[in-house]
Amino acid sequence: MDCTCSQFLPLALDRRSINKRIKATAAILKPLTLLAEHPALRLKLFQCPHCAQYWQTGWEWNLGGTEYAYHVPIIEVGTWQQEPYLQPAAWMIYGAMMEPYYAKNTFEPSDKPCPVPGCPHRAIRFSGVCEQHHVEQLQQFGMLPKRPVGRLFPPYGPTVPA
Ligand SMILES: [Zn+2]
Ligand SMILES: [Zn+2]
């Protein structure tokens, strides 16, 4: 029997899509092969034995803590265990938390380069560093919500979702 993997699109970053996926997840996971688990983050990595598609689970307190499955790129298990993929619902919530900050601030580039080693961007006006490093500094000081854990993968990032 053919699998249903290709019927699923990347998760749209809205509650309706994620709740819908939560409901479909038990049926999605059933035929898949478990490749690895990340007990600390309560995440799992699966592969479809039919089409070889990789899937990861995510979950969110904010959405009832129930797991949902989504497509991820092929990855070596050890590498995945070091840093699993980003969870789309966490990325969505992060976007919502960051929205007031982005709505209040405009970032005009100055004529100076960002002084962080290896950074190719221009420093923004009224800050010594580029927009990305400015936000990271505020996050380090606890003045902005922290970026959720997990490696970015298409179609998510590196821009904070609107
Ligand atoms: Zn499949
Ligand atoms: Zn920079």
Task: List pLDDT tens digits, range 80-123.
Answer: 999 999 999 999 999 999 999 999 998 999 999 999 999 999 99
Residue 157 lies inside a defined structural domain of this protein: no
The whole domain housing 125 covers 89-140
Q: Which residues contact 24 (CB under 8 A, 6 or more apart)?
A: 8
**What's the structural domain count of the chain?**
2
Say how many CA atoms lie within 13 Å of 133 toward its Cβ: 18
Give residue 157's pLDDT.
Answer: 78
Residue 161 lies inside a defined structural domain of this protein: no
Give residue 159's pLDDT.
Answer: 82
Do 124 and 78 belong together in one domain? no
With both helix axes pointing from N to C terminus, report the angle between 88-104 and 15-29 in degrees, rounded to the nearest 10. Answer: 170
Q: Checking DSSP bridges between strand 54-58 and strand 68-72, what pairing results, if any?
A: antiparallel
Give residue 161's pLDDT.
Answer: 85
Of 45, 64, 82, which residue sits at a domain end?
Answer: 82
**2 CA distance to ligand 1 middle (Å):** 7
Do 21 and 77 belong together in one domain? yes
**Average pLDDT for runs of 10 along the chain of length 162:** 91 95 97 97 97 97 94 98 97 95 92 96 93 94 94 89 82
**Burial class (CB within 10 angstroms; exposed 0-12, middle 13-18, buried 19+) of 93:** buried
Question: Which residue type sits at 119?
Answer: C
Give residue 160's pLDDT.
Answer: 85
Give residue 162's pLDDT.
Answer: 78
- Which runs of consecutive H residues, i.e. helices, occur in the chain? 15-29, 77-82, 88-104, 131-140
Give residue 121's pLDDT.
Answer: 94
**29 CA distance to ligand 1 middle (Å):** 10
Ligand nearest to the CA of 120: 2
